[in-house]
């Protein structure tokens, strides 16, 4: 396979993303991780943006890449 061939997973995806949840379950301890990232001024989240969460129990930070709305 040459360097010029693209892989589906390597392709850049653009467009809108669903708004991130205000909290998620921490994978490490099962506690609640709360959204740290503020919404964009236009309140439109884009696929590929990274949002951060902090667990209120173990204090771990989780960075999540937003997927397109259709996924």
Please tell me the predicted confidence (pLDDT) of residue 38.
97
Among candidate residues 19, 18, 29, 22, the one with its CA nearest the CA of residue 53: 22
The pLDDT value given to residue 14: 74
For the residues 39-68, what does the mean pLDDT come to?
A: 97
What structural domains and CATH numbers belong to the chain? 19-65 (2.20.25)
Task: From 49, 52, 50, 48, select the one nearest 61 (Cα to Cα).
Answer: 52
- Residue 70's pLDDT is what? 79
Class of residue 12 by CB neighbours under 10 A (exposed 0-12, middle 13-18, buried 19+): exposed
pTM: 0.77
Query: What is the predicted pLDDT for the residue at 13?
Result: 61
* pLDDT tens-digit readout, 1-51: 445 544 445 455 679 999 999 999 999 999 999 999 999 999 999 999 999
């Amino acid at each position: 396979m040459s360097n010029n061939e693209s892989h589906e997973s390597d392709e850049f995806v653009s467009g809108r993303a669903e708004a991130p949840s205000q909290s998620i379950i921490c994978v490490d301890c099962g506690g609640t991780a709360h959204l740290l990232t503020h919404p964009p001024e236009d309140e439109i989240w884009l696929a590929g943006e990274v949002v951060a969460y902090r667990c209120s129990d173990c204090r771990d930070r989780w960075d999540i890449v937003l997927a397109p709305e259709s996924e």
